[in-house]
Amino acid sequence: MKTCKSTLCVLGFGLALVAAAAANDAPPLTFKFSTIDVPGAIQTFPGGVNNSGVIAGLYFDASGLEHGYILNGKKLTTLDDPKGTSTGAHGLNPNGAIAVVGSYINVKGKQEGFRYKHGKFTDVPGPAGATISAAFGINDTGEIVGYYVDSTRVQHGFLLKGKTYTTLDVPGAASTFAVGINDTGSVVLQWVDSKGIYESALYDGNTYTTIDVPGAANSSAQGINTAGDILYGWSDSSGLGHGALLQSGTYYNFDDPQGVQTYPAGINDRHVIVGSYQAIINAADDGFKATY
C-alpha cells in the first residue's frame, strides 16, 4: 500500500536513470528524479500526483506526529482529520477540484478511510461490518478504491460508487487491497497469495488479471493512469525495494539514484511519478518526483 511502504520544496535534481526494459527490442526509458520534501518534516511520503502537478501524501513532523498534506507548488496544506489522529493522504483525483483520499486513526483507535474535498472530511468506513478501512485511489467521477478488514480479520479490496460498496477479492488471494483506479474504471490491486507473497492484479470490472513484475520476489501495483501505465513497487531476493513501470506491455525497472531503496506511490497522465526513497537502509525517507 501506499503509506510508509506498508498498509505505504524541491531540494535538487537527481541524475537521470536509464531503466532496463523487459523486452529486448523495447527502447530505453529515461527517468529524471528530483527530491521533494515537506519543509521541516523528518520523513516525507508522497502518495499521489494529479495532472496539474499537485501532490498529496503524508509526513512526520519533528515530534514524530503523522499528518496528511497537499503540496501545490510551494503552497502546503496540512490535513488532520478532526475526528481523530495520525492522518495520511494516499491519493487524489487526476483533474478538476482536488479530492484527496486517505486514512486516519479514529477515537476508538481504529484506522478509517476518508475523502477530503472543499475543506471537508467525509468518512469512507467500508461496507457494513468493516472493522478497519483505508481509501487509496479516487478518479474524476468520484469512484473510490481501498481496502477493509472484516470481523474475521480478513482484508478485502473495495470499490465505492456513490454510496454503494463492491467487495473486490482476487480469486485465491488470502488478502486483497485495491490501490488505484483510473477514469476508465480500471482498478489495480495488491494481493497476498497462499505463501504470503505480494502479487498484483488488474481488474476491468469483470476479470482479474495477474500483472506481476518479472523476476520480483514481491510485486505491488501502486497506481494506474488513463493511458493504462501501471506503477509498481517491488522487492528483489534480498528484500530491497525498487520501482517499475508497465507501459505498452513492457516493464521498465527504476531506482532513485540517491537511494538504496525506492518506493513509488503515485502516477499521473503527464508522465510524472511520485514516491519515497531511503538513502541508507532503515534511514528516514525522503520524497521524490520523477518524469519519464
Q: What gap in Å lies between CA 175 and CA 171, rounded to an integer?
A: 10
Q: What is the pLDDT of residue 275?
A: 98
Q: What is the pLDDT of residue 28?
A: 84
Among the four given CATH numbers 1.10.10.10, 3.40.50.1970, 2.120.10.30, 3.40.30.10, the one describing domain 10-291: 2.120.10.30
Q: What is the pLDDT of residue 26?
A: 62
C-alpha cell at 234: 517491488
The domain limits of the chain are 10-291
Burial (CB count within 10 angstroms: exposed 0-12, middle 13-18, buried 19+), residue 249: exposed
Burial (CB count within 10 angstroms: exposed 0-12, middle 13-18, buried 19+), residue 246: buried
Q: What is the pLDDT of residue 27?
A: 73
- Residue 138 CB contacts under 8 Å (≥ 6 apart), including other chains: 91, 92, 93, 99, 100, 101, 115, 144, 145, 181
Burial (CB count within 10 angstroms: exposed 0-12, middle 13-18, buried 19+), residue 288: buried
Enumerate residue ranges in the chain where pLDDT < 70: 1-26
Q: What gap in Å lies between CA 289 and CA 186, rounded to an integer?
A: 24
Asked if 262 contacts 279 with a C-beta cutoff of 8 angstroms, the reply is no
How is the beta sheet containing 155-161 ordered, strand by strand?
A: 132-138, 144-149, 155-161, 164-168
**What is the Cα 195 distance to its own chain's centre?**
23
Question: Is the Cα torsion angle 100, 5, 12, 43 positive or negative in sign?
Answer: positive
Asked if 16 contacts 31 with a C-beta cutoff of 8 angstroms, the reply is yes
pTM: 0.92
Q: What gap in Å lies between CA 225 and CA 180, rounded to an integer?
A: 9
- Residue 258 CB contacts under 8 Å (≥ 6 apart), including other chains: 14, 33, 35, 277, 279, 286, 288
At 160, which helix (H) or strand (E)?
strand 155-161
Q: What gap in Å lies between CA 289 and CA 177, rounded to an integer?
A: 24
Q: What gap in Å lies between CA 274 and CA 267, rounded to an integer?
A: 7
